[in-house]
A = this chain, B = another copy of it.
């Protein structure tokens, strides 16, 4: 019986043309980040189950691929549940592993650690078109910096990375978790319901302000609280309103938080000569519960979902180390798969100067093969790609058509003692 040769459910094979695009995009992004002084690290794809189920991963933890214990450690007889059967899992993001990495290696790392990670993560999402269970993330993080020095550098570097791969029209939205908390506090929500309220607010893009109101009503929060909340959000949605004006409606927010938000917005605008479009958005939430300060997101104008997102998470590393003092950390993640899918949609062509040549020859008799291989080597010296293939004399036309379809740009037919003459495939 023929085996099912499809990739495992929700996984996929990637063909040469897409790999070329992915490699190009990844190297361009990494080059920009390196120019900003970031250095690349790598953590294993597999982590201890404890790290992946600590709660920091939010909903991602529900989508964990768990790895079975091995050897003596696996005892099906005495196992009382899944927790007895597994000891590791596949990482669902690069932030939780980074925190473990930093906690484990910090004595060897710079005080201000600026790092790049690019790698695969896995989530057992319900398989659906265009979403896969293995996908690539591309993160930069700055650990050890309390000041907005971190936020501004992350935003400038990520913007330049996106510009370098051809995105010019994008908007950065920025908010601060502490603004959101001040908003919820001021309206009278209970601290225990903050996360739920924020998750509802996060759907504003999709369900509109009325949808948000209905969802809050359904959750049976006090009417007055909901009204106050909706009213402020509506005011905040006006494009001309300043951070200060919104902050003035939120009595518990600190001046420092407001000043820092303003500083980041103004610095980015000034350093980029207004070329980077950044605006405060009180309705920006970012899903993860671990954020403690500023949060930000980049959307490409004309495309729905965001292309990059991040924020400050000052508590996660200290939590792993069980230390009381915050260890400041701030990160920005490019949605690599989203970038690839938009570039593919736009028929982006990877720039190359390399010719793809092919030499056709008639037989693999020792002398012929030797000659052809030597000629191929010569033509490779200037950087061209040179393949050699047996000539299908009976159907040359089809062979040339196929070679063209496979991306070859020119061909030559080998003849003994005659210099090769390449002709374009067209």
Mark each residue of chain A from 1 to 41: 1 if its CB lies under 8 Å from any CB of chain B, else 0.
11111111001111110011001000100000011110111
Distance in Å: Cβ of A110 to nearest Cβ of chain B: 5
For the complex, would chain A's binding face be called helix, strand, loop or mixed by DSSP majority? mixed
Contact B36 A386 (CB under 8 A): yes
Contacts of A374 in B (CB 8 A): 270-271
Contact B104 A7 (CB under 8 A): yes
A271–B86 Cα distance when bound, in Å, is 53
Residue of B nearest to A62 (CB): B70
Copies of this chain, whole number: 2
Say which size band chain A's interface belongs to: 35 or more
A113–B119 Cα distance when bound, in Å, is 27
Stretch at the interface among A148-156, A201-209, A291-299, A334-342: A148-156
Contact of A369 among B12, B112, B263, B320 (CB under 8 A): B263
Q: In residues 362-395 of chain A, which contact B (Cβ within 8 Å)?
A: 364, 366, 369-370, 373-374, 377, 380, 383-390
Stretch at the interface among A73-81, A170-178, A324-332: A73-81
Contact of A108 among B6, B15, B100 (CB under 8 A): B15
Contact of A45 among B39, B134, B153 (CB under 8 A): B134
Contact A85 B104 (CB under 8 A): no
Contact B266 A101 (CB under 8 A): no
A86–B76 Cα distance when bound, in Å, is 13
21 A–B contacts from the bound complex (CB under 8 Å): A3-B50, A8-B47, A8-B88, A11-B44, A11-B46, A11-B47, A13-B42, A13-B101, A16-B41, A19-B42, A27-B27, A37-B387, A44-B134, A45-B120, A66-B68, A74-B82, A76-B81, A149-B369, A152-B369, A156-B377, A271-B373
Please name 13 further chain A to chain B contacts, defined as beta carbons within 8 Å, in addition to the given A13-B105, A68-B82, A111-B402, sorted by A numbering.
A8-B46, A13-B42, A19-B40, A19-B41, A35-B384, A39-B407, A45-B122, A45-B134, A66-B67, A110-B406, A148-B369, A263-B366, A271-B370
The chain A residues found within 8 Å of chain B, CB to CB, are 1-8, 11-16, 19-20, 23, 27, 34-37, 39-48, 50-51, 65-68, 70, 74, 76, 79, 81-82, 85-88, 90, 100-101, 103-105, 108, 110-112, 114-115, 120, 122, 124, 133-134, 147-149, 152-153, 156, 263, 266-267, 270-271, 320-322, 354, 356, 358, 364, 366, 369-370, 373-374, 377, 380, 383-390, 402, 406-407
